[in-house]
Amino acid sequence: MEYKNVLTTCPYCGAGCNFYLQVLDGKLIGVLPCKSHPVSQGKLCIKGWNASEFVVSGERLTKPLIKRNGEFTEASWDEALDTVAKKLKEYKESYGPDSIAVLSSAKCTNEENYLMMKFARAVLGTNNVDHCARLCHASTVVGLVQSFGSGAMTNSIKELEDADCILVIGSNTAEQHPLIARYILRAKEKGAKLIVVDPRAITLTQFADYHLRQSPGTDVAVFNGLMNVIINESLEDKEFIKERTEGFEELKETVKNYTPERVEEITGIPKDKLIAAARMYAKAEHASIIYSMGITQHTTGVDNVSSSANLAMLTGNVGKPGTGINPLRGQNNVQGACDMGALPNVYSGYQSVADEKIRAKFEEAWRVKLPGKPGLTVVEMMNEAAKGNIKGMYIVGENPMVSDPDISHVREGLENLEFLVVQDIFPTETTQLADVVLPAACYAEKEGTFTSTERLVQMVRKAVEPPGESKGDWEIICELAKAMGSKEFEYGSPAEIMDEIASLTPIYGGIFYARLQRGGLQWPCPSKEHAGTPYLHKEKFTRANGKGKFFGIEFREPAELPDEEYPFTLTTGRIIFHFHTGTMTRKTALLNREVPRGYVEIAPADAERLGIVAGELISVKTRRGQIETKALITERVSEGVIFMPFHFAESAANVLTNPALDPVAKIPEYKVCAAKIEKIKVSQVI
Amino acid sequence: MIKKARDLTKKWLEGKEVDAIFGLKQEDGYIAPHLFIDASELDNLMLSTQHRLCYTCRPSRENILSLMQRREPNMKIGVVVRGCDERALIELAKRGQVDLGKIKIMGIACNQEEAKECRCEKPYPSNLVLGERVEGVSEDENVDALLDKSLPERLAFWRHELSKCIKCYGCRNVCPMCFCKDCKMEQEVFTEKGWLPPEIPMFHFIRFYHISESCIGCGECEKACPVDIPLLTIFKLLRRDVKALFDYEAGLDVEQKSPLLTTLDEMPMREDVTSGV
């Protein structure tokens, strides 16, 4: 008999909790928390506690599948890989490399994401590589780079505990990053002030000193209003502004027009509350801003992010513990997938593909000529597929048929492809459309690293064997590359891939498996002797001239506002009991018992006006599509606003959402669109 | 002490007194339960007061030792335990979950400082093999502070604490005594589902009540709570009540049946001694 506990990193959100997988005679029997881990400290959320259940689900993909006459049939690995290699080669040769696009995965390891982007660039010869970060924090990467020079969370999770004031905007932290909420609540118990800015009454609002309830999509006005008060009352950190920043005059000029009265008109936040919250934030010694998709998923996503950076710099809250701008990344390894360059414009470590010197470095290392033109982003790929310009697509560990905006359009794009290969651990709404399906190992069945939201690179360890013939994504990518004739994918283990990453990626320069075994390392970690970086921008900003940059940003309205025909504002998000498209959580009994089906939150006054009762099946319609779901009548939303979680494929919120993009970051506006609600006639129900 | 423990467990294993040792293993600075089959592995045996052994595995909801014993019924397992681990084993045996006949206990005493850290009332096992027995803590600041409050204050205190709950079920998951197949905390008949915080106070009361007489006071539930709800405090008071009402203490004697598992025809509950948590 063999019983062991294998320490690993949680596969759900970006908090980076660690736990042990309990293994009895080669079988997973449960999860145990890890008391010595710096973030999780022996605690987990409901998803982490149940993270072993989906691994052993009987629904896992166990054999390669090839679609023949519309039906999937089992195939050997050789046959499946040959088919994929042949097709991809054919498109590359006949239509050019840019006729192919790949989607990498924020669920996969750093090593696998690195290999995916290397495969796209070195084997296919295209920069058409992207992943779901486009849909969650593309605006963070762009916004924080232009303000600070680095697009990541500036500080560490544990530091939150010692902040004097925490401003949470657009993050339902207690539900989406429960173990990060732990540190907010601990700060609160120690006397810190808490300001929550959110259109919904979320779990954290019950503990907030102020809940500023803005209309969805008016965040820039909120930030400008807060800064207007701070400058007006001379509460800004003049020394910090002078010594460490540039562009203050531009900011001042812009925000002077955002008086509390005007901001109340735009956002609906009473001016007295705004003024009080501004004072509270500005007067704190260590003030920390936390945000998430509530501000990033807008056509003004970059503006929102840069505005948060403006506010932090204005009050000198950057470059010291317990302060900063803390974007919470939603996936276990979405930070890592970005760090590894699974993005159309950069290699690993955010090194630009357009920069000739950098391109030459990668060309030399990979012994191949590389394309210099940045590739397509997620939504652009779907558009080009619909137009017929993308012929083949390789999707790893993503489910765009539930996760992407305007699903009908996604379907149109994917169905219009000549060839689609999808690699996943489960059959999904997306694998259904594939020509070839490749079965992959999940986190518990392979080795690698994940990088958490606080830039912490941590080990993922193999606890059990993958089911059936499924294999680690890194092995599959290597085999496919070899099948296409590449000689640059000879790795004996993920550790060797990390060695290559370290050699080509300055921020990961000191990261090696031997160092990670005893605990994670926070990048930048440029050398083997470097201990890692708990918080960024300490003495100077990462920007080229070392200064943080203010931007004067005017408020712009969301792309689609409610009107007579579509009178509601629909906003979307997640709930604690499920994760993203439900591929994992909806196969976990306890989580399904908590919330088995989708719903739409509607304010009591709206429900009464429309004659809708609790639990009633109703129709929600936008200009993109229509779904049916049950009504949840709650004061969590205010009048005129409705909210839907997007986990549920059968009543998919993303049938409704607007694919309008932020002009720079190309992130879609999941958080605001116009919708209407209708009762379903009895005859329709029957 | 650790050297003594390693030597003794090796002796047990090599002398065929046991077929395996169930204890804590240290690897790269991390500590977790492990089944040692080979004596050479025992150089990684670790002692820690902060890590427990007998967890209920989920989703099967069986204790790890019951799973092992069911798999290999004839295997004699040496178990390296602290006082609280031993009390858990005794309660589990009492409830038919483990077979103590196939278990050889190596009891390790905790020192005064360790007992204080865990707010432990009985920091030693009855099968004491290594270490000196010291008395546990008799006073508890948190308990006293709570009892000093008025009833409305106490209600407000618990309301606030329970309102932080993020429904991870961690308190139940780490509890060695929580092995019910049909846990009532999960059932909609008792508490509404799908919300944060879970229904106050029902969600927590189900467990408070159900574990009141089997709680062995290890404090794992409090340590597992992501939002620091003072669960050990309430369980100390519940244990105090059970002791006062029934003169019963969990985890001491496998033969002593739990008062809530027996009929009480002859002995009604005394109503004058409840501490009113």
Q: Which of A5, A44, A45 sits opposite B34 (nearest CB)?
A: A5
From first to last of the 277 residues of chain B, give the pLDDT tens digit.
Answer: 999 999 999 999 999 999 999 999 999 999 999 999 999 999 999 999 999 998 999 888 999 999 999 999 999 999 999 999 999 999 999 999 999 999 999 999 999 999 999 999 999 999 999 999 999 999 999 999 999 999 999 999 999 999 999 999 999 999 999 999 889 999 888 898 999 999 999 999 999 999 999 999 999 999 999 999 999 999 999 999 999 999 999 999 999 888 877 655 655 555 554 444 4
Cβ of A24 under 8 Å from any chain B Cβ? yes
Q: Residue B263 has what pLDDT?
A: 58
Contact between A374 and A405 under an 8 Å Cβ cutoff? The reply is no
Provide the pairing of β-strand B77-81 with B20-27. Answer: parallel
Name the 3-class secondary structure at A564. coil
Predicted confidence (pLDDT) per residue in A174-217, tens digit: 999 999 999 999 999 999 999 999 999 999 999 999 999 999 99
Contact between A432 and A67 under an 8 Å Cβ cutoff? The reply is no
Q: Work out the minimum CA distance from A174 to partner chain B, whole angstroms.
A: 7
Pick among 3.30.499.10, 2.20.25.90, 1.10.533.10, 3.30.465.10: CATH of A3-56: 2.20.25.90
Q: Residue A202 has what pLDDT?
A: 96
- Look up residue A409 and give its amino acid: H
Chain B, 217 to 276: residues with Cβ < 8 Å from chain A are 223-228
Question: Domain A568-685 is of which CATH architecture?
Answer: Beta Barrel (2.40)
Residue spans per domain, chain A: 3-56, 65-135+332-505, 154-327, 568-685
DSSP A566-611: S-EEEEEE--TT--TTSTTGGG-HHHHHH--S-EEEE-HHHHHHHT
User: Is the CB of B59 less than 8 angstroms away from the CB of A33?
Assistant: no
First to last CA, chain B: 39
Residue labelled with tokens 């803390």: A326
What is the four-CA torsion angle of A13, A14, A15, A21, rounded to 10 degrees? 60
Q: Residue B258 has what pLDDT?
A: 85
Q: Residue B58 has what pLDDT?
A: 87
- Among all residues of chain A, which has the CA nearest to that of B195? A594
Residue spans per domain, chain B: 2-130, 141-261
Q: Residue B269 has what pLDDT?
A: 52
Counts of helices then strands in chain B (DSSP H, E):
10, 8
ipTM: 0.94
User: Is the CB of A1 less than 8 angstroms away from the CB of B35?
Assistant: yes
Sheet strands (E) in A454-542: 456-460, 521-522
The helix (run of H) or strand (run of E) holding residue B245 is: helix B231-246
- Among all residues of chain A, which has the CA nearest to that of B220? A42
The helix (run of H) or strand (run of E) holding residue A184 is: helix A178-189
Largest pairwise CA distance in chain A = 72
Please name which of B40, B57, B27 lies closest in space to residue B178, comparing C-alpha atoms.
B57
Please name which of A79, A89, A284, A328 lies closest in space to residue A187, comparing C-alpha atoms.
A284
Chain B, 21 to 80: residues with Cβ < 8 Å from chain A are 22, 25, 27-35, 37, 50-51, 55, 57-60, 64, 67-68, 71-72, 75
Cβ of A30 under 8 Å from any chain B Cβ? yes
Contact between B29 and B75 under an 8 Å Cβ cutoff? The reply is no
Q: What is the spatial distance between Cα A440 and Cα A399, in angstroms, rounded to a whole number?
A: 14
Residue labelled with tokens 């997007």: A646
Low-confidence ranges of chain A (pLDDT < 50): none
A chain contacts of residue B31, beta-carbon cutoff 8 Å:
35-36
Name the 3-class secondary structure at B212. coil
Contact between A228 and A263 under an 8 Å Cβ cutoff? The reply is yes
- Among all residues of chain B, which has the CA nearest to that of A55? B59
Looking at the DSSP bridge assignments, the partners of residue A457 are A451, A521
Angle of helix A494-504 relative to helix A110-118, nearest 10 degrees? 70
Predicted confidence (pLDDT) per residue in A589-625, tens digit: 999 999 999 999 999 999 999 999 999 999 999 999 9
Q: Which of A45, A575, A593 sits opposite B168 (nearest CB)?
A: A45
B chain contacts of residue A52, beta-carbon cutoff 8 Å:
59
Q: What is the spatial distance between Cα A321 and Cα A69, in angstroms, rounded to a whole number?
A: 60
User: Is the CB of B59 less than 8 angstroms away from the CB of A50?
Assistant: yes
Give the burial class of A485: count Cβ atoms within 10 A of its Cβ; 0-12 exposed, 13-18 middle, 19 or more buried: exposed
Q: What is the spatial distance between Cα B176 and Cα B48, in angstroms, rounded to a whole number?
A: 18
Pick among 3.40.50.460, 3.30.70.20, 3.40.50.740, 3.20.20.70: CATH of A65-135+332-505: 3.40.50.740
Contact between A89 and A82 under an 8 Å Cβ cutoff? The reply is no
Q: What is the spatial distance between Cα A251 and Cα A554, in angstroms, rounded to a whole number?
A: 10
Homologous superfamily of domain range A154-327? Dimethylsulfoxide Reductase, domain 2 (3.40.228.10)
Q: What is the spatial distance between Cα A39 and Cα B138, in angstroms, rounded to a whole number?
A: 33
Q: Which of B58, B193, B225 sits opposite A43 (nearest CB)?
A: B225
